[in-house]
Amino acid sequence: MTGPHQRLVRTRLANGLRVLLAPDRTVPVVAVAVHYDVGMRSEPEGRTGFAHLFEHLMFQGSERLPKLDHSRYVQSAGGLFNGSTHLDYTQYHDVLPSNALERALFLEADRMRAPDLNAENLRVQIDVVKEEIRVNVTNKPYGCFPWVHLPGALFRTFANSHDGYGSFADLDSATVADAHQFFDRYYAPANALLTVGGDFEPDEALAMVHRHFGPIDHRPAPPRPDFAEPAPTARRRLVHHDPHAPLPAVAAGWRVPDPVGRWADYLPHLLLTEVMSDGPTSRLHRRLVRTDRTAISQRCYLGMLGDPFDTADPTALVCTARQAPGADCEQVLDAVVEEFAAVAAHGPGERELARVAGRLTTRLMVETDAVLARTQALASLELRHGRAELLDELPELFAAVTPDQVRAAAARLTGDRCGMVELRPGAARAEGLAA
């Protein structure tokens, strides 16, 4: 795959900020993304949901600009902005006409320098986040299933297993001092990556970057914790009751190799998810929906949040299904395991694997066509792998995966080494884990 973003420019400012420029002169638009190397896994015990809460606080003004000015400056130029919190990073972005690049850089540098972390902003945003949880999780059928539940069955350590949306008790106990401490520790320039994509001249953009980000004081980046933990040696099961769900559902996750340190072993699992789950001719759709009729829908994906290329270790391959009326979750999971065993024994054929690789390439090209999506994809690969160029190399890497590699990946996914969540319709009640 070739693209207009082949010429990448890298630099690092004196304060430690990493900078990646990806010029693309095809459309008069620029995207500015700032990725901070901190996410839900970095939250301490008693502060679940804090990374996401802090993302909200970063939109509440700064020492220089009052609340809402960031949005006014972006929208008045015809742009858009947003942010999101992930397991291992938090990102903020702005998309504007190319003649407003300096405006976006000023705004991101402004809140990197000194966001307005005060008691009123904290109180309001705690309420906003709690309402978001009500809307997206507690009052919605299958709300955020399974990502808020499955980690508790798949992992043992607090960092990996806790609910990153957070508990109301933890959110309510957050203080302004907590926010300042979190900012000082994790929002240092040396812990961030600034990526600029779109229509600009690199030399001019670099001058703007130095002008706005250069004066921010240096603070050392915190050492990244080692989140590694042993893989499960027995099936662990968690029951979740959903009063709004019309039908039961099940999700299972299997640990996979380190997405960065063992990239060659990890990538075949992505092809495996497509073989298993992509489209009406996929193995799990044929087995669960058409043949056994134990499920009305199914999905198989890589990464706890379905983000195969910007996730860090440990992570998992996840399969989910909404069960047909009267179907048992064990029937569904047993069938999934049998299909993995069939792939391990007989594997995908060359033609099947070629079709899968082609679909992955097409999807990648479509999803990264827009300037913002391409900028974010480059930033994610740079952050995790140190090589944004990997984006252009992925199609060839997909095509190079062999049937034997996919068979080996499937052979690791046995029924006795997974974490499982059974979603039952009906009133919530406490249930424990079972080995």
Query: Is residue 435 pLDDT above 50, yes or no?
Result: no
Q: Could you tell me if 248 and 124 lie in one domain?
A: no
Query: Is residue 366 pLDDT above 70, yes or no?
Result: yes
Give residue 6's pLDDT.
55
Q: What is the mean pLDDT of residues 240-260?
A: 97
Structural domain of residue 170, as residue ranges?
9-213
Residue 261 lies in a domain: yes
pLDDT level of residue 432 (50, 70, 90 thresholds): very low
pLDDT in tens, 120-168: 999 999 999 999 999 999 999 999 999 999 999 999 999 999 999 999 9
Q: Could you tell me if 178 and 283 lie in one domain?
A: no
Q: Could you tell me if 57 and 107 lie in one domain?
A: yes
Query: Which of 11-15, 109-113, 359-363, 426-430 comes out lowest in average pLDDT?
Result: 426-430
Q: What is the mean pLDDT of residues 247-273?
A: 97
Which residue, 213, 245, 278, sits at the end of a domain?
Answer: 213
Number of domains in the chain: 2
pLDDT in tens, 34-90: 999 999 999 999 999 999 999 999 999 999 999 999 999 999 999 999 999 999 999
Q: Could you tell me if 273 and 178 lie in one domain?
A: no
What CATH number has the domain bearing residue 175?
3.30.830.10
Extract the tokens encoding 135: 């809307």
Give residue 2's pLDDT.
39
Q: Could you tell me if 321 and 420 lie in one domain?
A: yes
Q: Could you tell me if 263 and 198 lie in one domain?
A: no
Query: Which of 122-131, 152-161, 360-369, 421-430 comes out lowest in average pLDDT?
Result: 421-430
Q: Could you tell me if 405 and 280 lie in one domain?
A: yes
Q: Could you tell me if 111 and 157 lie in one domain?
A: yes
pLDDT in tens, 286-321: 999 999 999 999 999 999 999 999 889 999 999 999
Residue 220 lies in a domain: no
Query: Is residue 324 pLDDT above 60, yes or no?
Result: yes
pTM score: 0.94
Query: Is residue 258 pLDDT above 50, yes or no?
Result: yes
